[in-house]
Structure formats: C-alpha cells, structure tokens
Amino acid sequence: MNEQIGNEQIGYETGDGVAQIRIERPEKKNALTAVLYTGLVEAFKRAESDPAVRVLLLCGSDTCFTAGNDLQDFMNTPPRDETNPTIRFIKQLPVTRKPIIAAVAGPAVGIGTTMLLHCDLVYADPNTRFQLPFVTLGLCPEAASSYLLPQIVGFPRAAELLLMGDPFSAQQALEMGMINGITPAGEVIATTLAKAKQMAERPAASLLLTKSLLKRAHARQVAEIMAEELTQFGERLRSPEAAEAFRAFFERRKPDFSKFI
C-alpha cells in the first residue's frame, strides 16, 4: 500500500510486513538534501511505530542508490547541531530496532555507503559503485564508519578505502564482507524485496531480539564514535582544505592541497 509521508522525493510503501523506503530524486542521481533526510527520518519512524511492519527495505532505483550529499544543499545547511536533518538521520540508523535491508545499485557515495554499515542485510546490483571520498573532500568519516568499517573489512582494507577514497565495485564489496550478495542485473529491488518478505514471515519478537543481541556489543562504541566524528566533521567543514575541495568540485577542476600544511 502506497502511503504519503509529506515528501514527494521519498517513496513509502507497505505490504507483507515490509516498509519499502525509496529515495526518489533521479534527476540528481538521488543526491541527498535536508528535505530528503527529513523524509527518511519520518519514514523510518513511521515504519518503527507501525505494528504491521516487521522489516524496513531501503532502496533507490534499479540503477541508482544515491550519489551522496547534494554538495550545494549541504553547504547551505551544514550539520552543526542535533536539529540538522543529516545528523538526525545518521543518529536514527543505529537506534532503529527493526531489521533494515538495503538494495543498492549504481552510485553509493559517501553516506550512500556508510549508511549501509548500519543495515542488517545488503544486496547490490553488479553495476554498483561504492565510494568513501571524505578525505578527498577535506572531511573525515561519519556515521561511525571509522569504527564499523574496520570491524567489517579489517583495518588494512578500511584504511585504503577511507584514506584513498577510490571507488570500488560490488564484487570487491562482496569479497570484503560489506554486502551479502550480488543480484542479477536490474533485479536488485525485486530480489531484495523477496528477501525482506521472507524475513518478515519470521516471528516479530525473535527478529527484534536477535537484532538487538547482534548490535548490543558495539552500541556504546558506535554512539561515542559517531558523536566524535560529527564534532570533527563540523570542524573539517570549516577548514580551508574543505573550502578548496568544494570550490574545485563546482569549478570542475582538480583541487590543489599543496599550500596547506
């Protein structure tokens, strides 16, 4: 059943125990804005409070998950305090009690990758391109990714992904243990929805308890590191390196960091 959540760029549909939450801004490769983050938080909270929903399915389209933050919007509404929609969404991810399954295709950049570290199952289309370009933008990791990524893929690989910021494929993500599987091309949402419906058939109380037990060991560290990252991220946003990176992005040129110590 399609439902309205007051945000035309976030699709919300429920059925068979699954709340499907879709990022729908295809003309901008699903780049995330303050408005979109607000819609995502609203959708997550609605799914959490709906007793008919047992599983959340987070997706974009079969060709695009999200290109990450819309940099122009991000510069206009930087994450400075707890009221910021970006921060509200990042903090919503680890406290969501119900299982989250993600279907990923095309670009999954920045937050488009780090949010997946909080999902319980992740499936990707063969065309998916993940990227963590924080350092290249003069920033630092967020969403507790500096902690969770080494836990999942090991320190050497996490260091390479975060320090270099180069794109990596669905096959590489699978080999590193970041995702659960690669679906046939063009079928990631259908395949993942079938998985979500299968999970929703399990006893609801057991799903909630099992997820809680799985997450409990790292909950405190995630909260603490997420808070530290957000503080550092805010400082980096005001840095000259970030200013140069953002100018270069909009001027479509290579940034020059040589003058910064």
Summarised one tens digit per residue, pLDDT across range 192-242 is 999 999 999 999 999 999 999 999 999 999 999 999 999 999 999 999 999
Confidence of residue 122 (pLDDT cuts 50, 70, 90): very high
Would you state the pLDDT for residue 231? Answer: 94
Would you state the pLDDT for residue 199? Answer: 98
Confidence of residue 7 (pLDDT cuts 50, 70, 90): confident
CATH T-level fold of 2-185 = 2-enoyl-CoA Hydratase; Chain A, domain 1 (3.90.226)
Q: Look at the block and give the residue holding tokens 């609801």.
A: 204
In 133-203, where does DSSP find H-type helix?
Answer: 145-153, 155-164, 170-176, 188-200
Confidence of residue 3 (pLDDT cuts 50, 70, 90): confident
Gap between the terminal Cα atoms of the chain:
55
Given a cut of 90, whether residue 80 has pLDDT beyond it is no
CB 195 within 8 Å of CB 135: no
CB 174 within 8 Å of CB 168: no
Given a cut of 90, whether residue 27 has pLDDT beyond it is yes
Would you state the pLDDT for residue 6? Answer: 65
Domain ranges across the chain? 2-185
DSSP 8-state secondary structure symbol assigned to residue 17: T
Mean pLDDT rounded to a whole number for the chain: 95
For the ranges 71-75, 141-145, 178-182, the lowest mean pLDDT is seen at 71-75
Given a cut of 80, whether residue 5 has pLDDT beyond it is no
Given a cut of 90, whether residue 141 has pLDDT beyond it is yes
The residue among 181, 203, 206 whose CA lies nearest residue 194 is 181
Confidence of residue 144 (pLDDT cuts 50, 70, 90): very high
Would you state the pLDDT for residue 260? Answer: 86
Would you state the pLDDT for residue 4? Answer: 64
Confidence of residue 60 (pLDDT cuts 50, 70, 90): very high
Would you state the pLDDT for residue 79? Answer: 82
CB 133 within 8 Å of CB 165: yes
Would you state the pLDDT for residue 207? Answer: 97
DSSP 8-state secondary structure symbol assigned to residue 106: S
Q: How many other β-carbons are positioned within 10 Å of the β-carbon of residue 202? A: 14
The structure's pTM equals 0.95
Question: pLDDT > 70: what percent of the chain?
Answer: 98
- Tell how far CA 77 is from the center of its chain: 18
